[in-house]
Amino acid sequence: MHIETIAVHAGGEVDAATGALAPPIHLSTTFEHGPACELPHGFLYIREGNPTQARLETALAQLEGGAAALAFSSGMGAGVVLLQSLEPGSHVIFPNDIYVDFRTVARDFFPKWRIEHTVVDMTQVPAVRDAVRPNTKLIWVETPSNPLMQVVDIAAVAQLARQASARTVVDNTFATPVLQRPLELGADVSLYSSTKYFGGHSDVQGGALVFRTKDSYLEAVEHTRKMLGAVASPFNSWLILRGLRSLVCRVEKHSANAMAVARALADSPALAAVHYPGLQSHSGHAVAKMQMRSFGGMLSIQVKGGRERALAVASRVKLFVNATSLGGVESLLEHRASSEGPSSTTPPDLLRLSVGLEHPDDLIADLMRAIG
């Protein structure tokens, strides 16, 4: 079945009680059970599971082609629970252009959890191979990366992980399962900030993990989520489930608009670089073309003249809004080094763009005016 059809119907069975096509929201925090805690309805307490979250998880697994999915209160919650479920003494390999808050987690919390990590340029597969240790348990891929839009060969890294008896997780937030299918490329887990394209309207927070197989690691992650409370609320689950229905057509439009913007900016004499994997000039274009259906709605630009010049461009946009996050219907622009703070490794002349659903000509005109 095609993904367009799956997105519309996954987790969307007609409500048995009323015949309603829109899924119900079950806000109850507790559920009737038997005298000895028998579960005639399948649920006990909201932190352990609730019907709306379960419906979303069914939809996510079907959309990704996975064996199971877990919903979380945020993308960070999903990723951190995945890491906390590793045994002490485990070693993790991170890409050098990883989402900044996961870099902070490694710095501030890994020593407390007795987890080791190595940071490598994951666009170079031999660098990943050289970083593998006997205690390597997880290789963390982010592609395209945030904010440099680096591209990693998922299949090649997943093969290395299997040879090392390690797992591969792919942060697939930028691409979504519409454009990139990590589990089909050999990864074990796909990670998402559902806040972004899944929700799609800048009005809900959530996270998700989709697993290729049901195994002991899935059980460990689910146990950690339950005990530490990083579960999705029923209402947020419902909003994300609603967002999935239009995900395919939105992502396709985001991608088409971003391609148009990237091509228009590629030859600007005011820019030092345009980072978008859909451009043939991008160092990861060949790999992206091989493993992606299209190239997504995210790009970044580097402005000649450094930080002050980049901030000047950001101050002159009219349609693009200076705001963090991404994947909503509106176009956003952000000076990432400022957003990430003192520990940022992002070039100070870089602006990250989340290209929305406006007409691309209007977006291009706005940027051209701002760039000058």
Catalytic center residues: 47, 99, 171, 196
CA distances from 64 to 190, 209, 212, 314 (A): 8, 10, 9, 36
The H or E element containing residue 333 is strand 332-335
**Closest by Cα among 55, 124, 113 to 84:** 113
Cα torsion at 274, 351, 151, 242 (round to 10°)? -120
**Closest by Cα among 110, 104, 103 to 86:** 110
The H or E element containing residue 92 is strand 91-95
Using CB atoms within 10 Å of the CB of residue 96, give its burial: 0 to 12 exposed, 13 to 18 middle, 19+ buried: middle
Q: Which two tokens stand for residue 223?
A: 């146990």
**Closest by Cα among 79, 193, 185, 186 to 140:** 79
Residues in the chain, how many? 372
Question: Per residue in 8-36, is it b (16+ CB within 10 Å) or e — as a string?
Answer: eebbbeeeeeeeeeebebbeeeebeeeee
Rg (CA), the chain: 21
Q: How many CA atoms lie within 13 A of 71 on its CB side?
A: 32
What string of DSSP letters covers 252-276? Answer: HHHHHHHHHHHHHHTT-TTEEEEE-
Residues contacting residue 369 through CB under 8 Å, at least 6 positions apart: 316, 318
The answer to whether 261 and 318 have CB atoms below 8 angstroms apart is no
